[in-house]
Amino acid sequence: MTPSVRRHDREFDLILWGATGFTGQLVARHLAENYDWDVLRWAIGGRDEVKLAAVREGLGAPDLPVVLGDAHDQDKMAALAKRTRVVCSTVGPYARYGSELVAACVRAGTGYCDLTGEAHWIRRMLDAHNAQAVETGARIVPTCGFDSIPSDLGVYFLQREMQSRHGAPGPRIKGGVARLNGKASGGTVASMLNLLEEAGNDRSVRRILVNPYSLNPEGKRNGPDGRDRMSPSYDDDFRKWTAPFIMAGINTRIVRRSAALMPDLYGPDFSYQESMLTGRGVGGALKATAVSGVMAAALGALSIGPIRRLIAPRLPQPGEGPTPEEQKNGNWEMRFLGGSSGARVTGDMDPGYGSTSKMLAESAVCLALDQLTVGGGFHTPASAMGNILIERLQKNAGVTFEVIE
């Protein structure tokens, strides 16, 4: 692993913003259990002093510093960003609560990572702040959870492998979700409902969501991939039936942005598609049809305002999520195929929370402590941290990356 660097140009290496939330508390626990103060100088942050004190007590870390503020308070966000080398944010929906903090990190040259899967918001932030982030050196890295680290680093890992084996990258990679055991939290439900509401009210948001290259740099928003598939189909390469995968909408955009930011590694005319693998034979076909139908029906119903408002109170609420037991018993596996080579990426806990919190925490530590070669700007996990993060995730986050023949 690239040696870690210690710098004392800021009061903290890392502020965990949103430490009182469902995911924030899991990230806090991972940091407290794995990093002593002499390795990582970190603080927890949020809007509620009493809740933050309870988190600190729960961690058994009474001296852990606390940073207070409201996400919409620009002065507080500016002050917070200046105190730390990196902010790790779990305050979402990000389109509702995240914009002031990203702007503050960009201005202060502070690293930033989060768990957003909201493509329209990433695009909004990118358009508004990328040029300044390049100037100030702020590395801004959204999507450091289950969306989109396994897809982004899985494809990156396979491309590196193909370069070293065959001297050339795979021009056409397919990703498939082979196993997924886990549940959604109230925060994730809130983000999805917020996204559907914004899409319902604003055509420009809908246009961003359906564009397969919406997160690519300007001038690179064309390529061989079309819109996301919404129906079941048989895949000749996986030799399995496939259904649409709900997170492919963000994962494919992030992978394509990585390809655009690293053309030497991914090659020209790179193509990436992602789906859920449902199995072989009649059983696989039936499952693919059922998954596609349920997804289309749920998205269709939740896109209608009155139905969404009727169903929302019955879904998990902010602060709620899977139990520790459910997180421990969960797991996931994704596969990637590119011609004759393939890769498998697995996680040892439920994707959305157990695994996500470890992936986000390690991304933040990587941004804060590791010697990264890239400069400022809006990155993907692969373009910012690549192999260094793969090593960290394998060592500290229960994630495996392996080549399959």
Residues at the contact surface with ligand NAP, assessed by CB under 6 A: 18, 20-24, 46-48, 51, 70-72, 90-94, 97, 115, 117, 145-147, 185-188, 191, 318-319, 321, 352-353, 356
Residue 191: which residues within 8 A CB-CB, separation 6 or more? 92, 93, 94, 95, 116, 117, 118
Cβ 90 to ligand NAP shortest distance, Å: 5
Report phi then psi at 157, rounded to 5.
-60, -45
Residues sharing a CB contact under 8 Å with residue 256, sequence separation 6 or more, in sequence order: 212, 213, 215, 216, 223, 225, 270, 272
Choose among 36, 306, 101: nearest CA to 196: 306
Nearest distance from residue 186's CB to ligand NAP, in Å?
Answer: 5
- The span from the CA of 16 to the CA of 346, in Å, is 26
Closest contact distance (angstroms) between CB of 42 and ligand NAP is 16
Sign, CA dihedral 388-113-350-170, equals negative
Q: Are 232 and 242 in contact (CB under 8 A)?
A: yes
Residue 272 or residue 353: which is nearer to ligand NAP going by CB? 353
If 0-12 CB within 10 Å is exposed, 13-18 middle and 19+ buried, where does residue 30 land? buried
Q: How far is the CB of 189 from ligand NAP (least distance, A)?
A: 8
We find the least distance from the C-beta atom of residue 76 to ligand NAP, in angstroms, to be 9
**Tokens (6 digits) for 276:** 């859920």
Smaller CB separation from ligand NAP, 300 or 319 = 319
- CB closer to ligand NAP out of 44 and 162: 44
Nearer to ligand NAP, 111 or 352 (CB): 352
Q: If you compute the radius of gyration of the chain from its CA atoms, what whole number of angstroms results?
A: 20
What minimum distance in Å lies between the beta carbon of 66 and ligand NAP?
12
CB 393 within 8 A of CB 359: yes
| Residue among 90 and 278 whose Cβ is closer to ligand NAP | 90
Q: How far is it, in rounded angstroms, from Cα 1 to Cα 391? A: 7
User: Do residues 262 and 383 make contact, with C-beta atoms less than 8 angstroms apart?
Assistant: yes
Minimum CB separation of residue 100 from ligand NAP in Å reads 9
Task: Report the residue number whose CB is nearest to ligand NAP.
Answer: 92
Q: Between 84 and 185, name the residue whose CB sits nearer to ligand NAP.
A: 185
Cβ pair 277, 177 in contact under 8 A: yes
Q: Smaller CB distance to ligand NAP: residue 97 or 156?
A: 97
Sequence-distant (6+) residues with CB within 8 A of 341 are: 158, 161, 162, 165, 166, 170, 403, 405
The whole-angstrom separation of Cα 170 and Cα 174 is 10
As measured in angstroms, the least distance from the Cβ of 382 to ligand NAP is: 15
* CB hemisphere CA count around 164 (13 angstroms): 6
Measured from the CB atom, the residue of 238 and 353 that comes closer to ligand NAP is: 353
- Closer by beta carbon to ligand NAP, 8 or else 314: 314
Torsion on CA atoms 127, 124, 25, 156, rounded to nearest 10: -60
Return the number of other C-beta atoms located less than 10 Å from residue 137's C-beta. 14
CB of 308 to ligand NAP, least distance (A): 16
E strands, 216-309, are 233-235, 240-244, 271-279
Single-letter amino acid code for the residue at 276: M
| Residue among 155 and 254 whose Cβ is closer to ligand NAP | 254
Smallest distance, ligand NAP to C-beta of residue 72, A = 6
